[in-house]
């Protein structure tokens, strides 16, 4: 299936979380902190909040969201 990561098409396997798909893209950044530091998923189970991304227009945890065909994912602050 195809998701769009920062407007670029990314072919991902079904059943992957968005965090796993982003990591597989070669650039695991999910967001940028207020001080400009890149952030990446840490816990993978919904606790650390480091994987917050804009997914189909809403802030969601990438590690808790499964990819869907046509999904639009954006790295954010
Ligand atoms: S990786 Fe920790 S909440 Fe998603």
66 Cβ below 6 A of ligand 1: no
**Residue whose pair of structure tokens reads 């070669």 in the numeric block:** 26
List helix spans (H) across the chain. Answer: 18-24
H or E stretch covering 52: strand 52-55
Domain extent at residue 39: 2-74
Q: For residue 76, what pLDDT band results from cuts at 50, 70 and 90?
A: confident
CA nearest ligand 1 atom 3, residue: 46
pLDDT at 46: 97
> How many Å lie between the centroid of ligand 1 and the Cα of residue 10?
21
Q: Count Cβ neighbours within 10 Å for each residue of 42-72 and write b for 16 or more, e otherwise.
A: eebeeeeebbbbbbeeeebbbbebebeeebe
Total number of domains constituting the chain: 1
pLDDT tens sequence across 21-71: 999 999 999 999 999 999 999 999 999 999 999 999 999 999 999 999 999
63 Cβ below 6 A of ligand 1: yes
Q: What are residue 76's phi and psi, to 5 degrees?
A: -150, 180
The pTM of the full predicted model, rounded to 2 decimals, is 0.93
Q: What is the CATH number of the domain that holds 55?
A: 3.10.20.440
């Amino acid at each position: 299936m195809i998701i769009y990561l920062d407007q670029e098409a990314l072919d991902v396997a079904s059943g992957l979380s968005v965090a796993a798909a982003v990591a597989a893209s070669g650039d695991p950044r999910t967001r940028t902190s207020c001080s400009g530091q890149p952030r990446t998923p840490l816990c993978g189970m919904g606790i650390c909040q480091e994987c917050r991304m804009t997914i189909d227009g809403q802030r969601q945890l990438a590690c808790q969201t499964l990819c869907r065909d046509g999904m639009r994912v954006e790295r954010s602050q």
